[in-house]
Amino acid sequence: MAQTRNSTVLRIVKTQATPNNFTSPPRGWNSWGMEANPAINPDFSFNQTHVLKQANALLAAIPEQDIQNHDYYISLDSGWSVGDHGDLRGRIIYDSSKFSIPTLANSLHSKGLRLGVYVLPGAFCKDSNKTISGTDIPISATLSGNNNGFARCDFDFEKDGVQQWHNSVVDLFADWCVCSLIQSDLLCVSLPCRRGVDLIKLDYITPGSPDNGGNLPPNNSGSVIAYHNAIQQASRTMRLDISWKLERNHTFFHIWESNADSMRTDQDVNNSGSTTFVAWATIQRAIDNYRDFISRVVSTESDQPLAIYPDMDNLYIGNKESITGVSDIQRQTIATHWIGAAANLITGSDLTRLDALGVKLLTDPAGQDVSNFTARYPMQARNPGTGRNDSKQLQAWIAGPDDGGDGRAIVVLANYGPDQGQGGFGTYIQGSQAVKATWEDLGLSGIYEVSDIWAHKRLGTAHKEVEAVLAEGESRLLSLLPMSNGTNIIAGAQ
C-alpha cells in the first residue's frame, strides 16, 4: 500500500522549564563507560584521583565561557557509594576507600563544575532496624516487603516515613559536610559545610527498566515522586535524571514529566566489557527510541510545552574510531542527533584521550548555538516524501521553527545505513544516497538562507527543499533562516 502524505500541519514542539526549573539539558562527563569498559583504558580506576583527571581534562577542552554559561557535571555512576548499608540513620554514604564526596564536591565547585551521583530505589535491607533521621519511625515500618535484589528493600509509598527518608538522604547530599564522616546527626558546628551533590541519577525505575538479575516491583514510580519532593525541600537545587528505558504511556509519562528533569529513552548504549565504547547498531536503536519518544509528544492533543529532556544515554563522541567503535562521520551523526534531540550532553568518552574531532564536537560554537536552540525546540522526525514520523533509513528531522523569534529552524538529513537489527526501519539500502526533504515534508514555506553547521559554511538560498548525498551513517546539520530576516549568521560561516 502506498504511503499517503501527512495531512496535518507541523506541530512545533517546545520545551519549558523542567520540574526543578532547568531550561537546558545537562552537560559534562559520566563515569559508566570507563567503569563498564575497563579494557579501553587499563590505567583508569574508579576513584577520586582518576575522576579528577577526567574533570581536569574536561576543563582543558571546554572554553571557560561555556563552563560559566552551562551546567557541566562530573557524574559518578554505580560504585561510588557503600553497596549494602547506609549510615546510622540509613542514609546513603560514599565508599571512603574510593571517594571523599565533600572534598570532591568542593574541588569540582571551585573549578565551576557540578557533581552528580547514582542511586537506586529503596532503602538497604540491612538498615531496616535503623530510625529515619528526624523521626521516631524505623525504616522497617516503611517497607513493602519486596527485596528488589540489589541489597535494597522497596518502600510502600503510602506509609508515613517514606518521604522523610528521602528528604534525609537528599538533605545529606545537598549539604555534605566534612564531619559527615562521623555518620551521625551531629551538626557541623566547628567545621565548614561544603556544598555537595547537584544531580541525582535514579536508576532501575519501573515500569520500563528490565530486572537485570534483580526482582524489581512492577511500579516503583513513587520513588521518582519522593526524590522530586525531597529536592524541592532541600537547601539547593538539584537535577533528577531517571533511568533506564521507561514506560512512555500517558499515565507514566505524566509522572516522569511532573517530577524529573530528564528521562532515559533507551537502554545503555555502551558495549559493556568491550575494547570500544559503542556499536552503530546500538546507536541506530537509540535514535529510533528518541523518534518514538518525540512522536508520542507530537501525537498528544495537548498544546502544553514539554517539561522534561530526553536522556539518550552517554554521548560517546570524544575519542578516535578505534576507541569509540564507530567512524568519524558516525561520531558526528551521534553528536548531531543528541544535540538535535536536546538530549543530555553528558559524554562517557575518555577525556584524557580526546582527539581533534572529539574536541570540535564537544565545543564547536555553532554546535553549541544549535544546542541552545533545541533546548527550547527539540527536533521531530518528518519523513522525506510524506512528512510522517515513521522510522526510516533515509530520514529528515526539524526543530522549530522559532515561532516567537526570527523564524529559524534546524533541519537534519540522515542516512543511517542498512538496519543492523535494532534500527526499527528494517531496510537495507547500501551505499551513498540522496536524502531530500521538501518544505511540504518539513511543514515549511518561504525562502530560507541555509547553512551547514559543522562545516561552518553558507549553502545559499533554498526555495522549496534541502538535499544532501550522504554515505552510510552520515548526516547533515542545517540551519534555515527566513530570508525576510536577513543573513543567516553562523559562527565561522564563510
pLDDT value at residue 245: 87
pLDDT value at residue 484: 74
pLDDT value at residue 6: 45
Contact present, 150 and 217 (Cβ < 8 Å): no
Q: Angle of helix 250-259 relative to helix 222-233, nearest 10 degrees?
A: 20
Mean pLDDT by 10 residues, the chain (494 residues): 51 97 98 97 97 98 95 98 97 96 94 97 98 97 96 98 98 74 44 75 96 94 98 95 94 97 96 96 98 95 92 98 98 98 98 98 97 98 97 98 93 98 97 98 96 98 98 98 62 40
Measuring CA to CA, which residue among 332, 326, 404, 340 is closest to residue 362?
A: 332
pTM (predicted TM-score): 0.94
Give the SS3 label for residue 73: strand
* Contact partners, residue 430, CB within 8 Å, separation at least 6: 417, 418, 472
The residues with which 467 forms a beta bridge, in sequence order, are 436
Please state, in angstroms and rounded to a whole number, the distance separating the CA atoms of residues 489 and 447. Answer: 16
The residues with which 199 forms a beta bridge, in sequence order, are 116, 239
Which residues are tagged catalytic?
Answer: 203, 268
The burial of 305, by beta-carbon neighbours within 10 Å (0-12 exposed, 13-18 middle, 19 or more buried), is given as middle
Please state, in angstroms and rounded to a whole number, the distance separating the CA atoms of residues 42 and 45. Answer: 8
Whether the CA torsion 159, 164, 168, 174 is positive or negative: it is positive
Sheet harboring 152-155: ordered strands across? 123-124, 152-155, 143-147
* Contact partners, residue 390, CB within 8 Å, separation at least 6: 381, 383, 425
Strand pairing of 123-124 and 114-119? unpaired
pLDDT value at residue 485: 54
Measuring CA to CA, which residue among 15, 26, 92, 59 is closest to residue 238?
A: 26
The residues with which 453 forms a beta bridge, in sequence order, are none
> CB atoms < 10 A from the CB of 479, how many?
26
The burial of 142, by beta-carbon neighbours within 10 Å (0-12 exposed, 13-18 middle, 19 or more buried), is given as buried
Instruction: Give the start-end residues of each E strand in 237-344.
Output: 239-242, 262-264, 309-311
CA angle 37, 38, 40 (to 5 degrees): 75
Measuring CA to CA, which residue among 421, 425, 418 is closest to residue 384?
A: 425
Measuring CA to CA, which residue among 490, 414, 400 is closest to residue 449?
A: 490
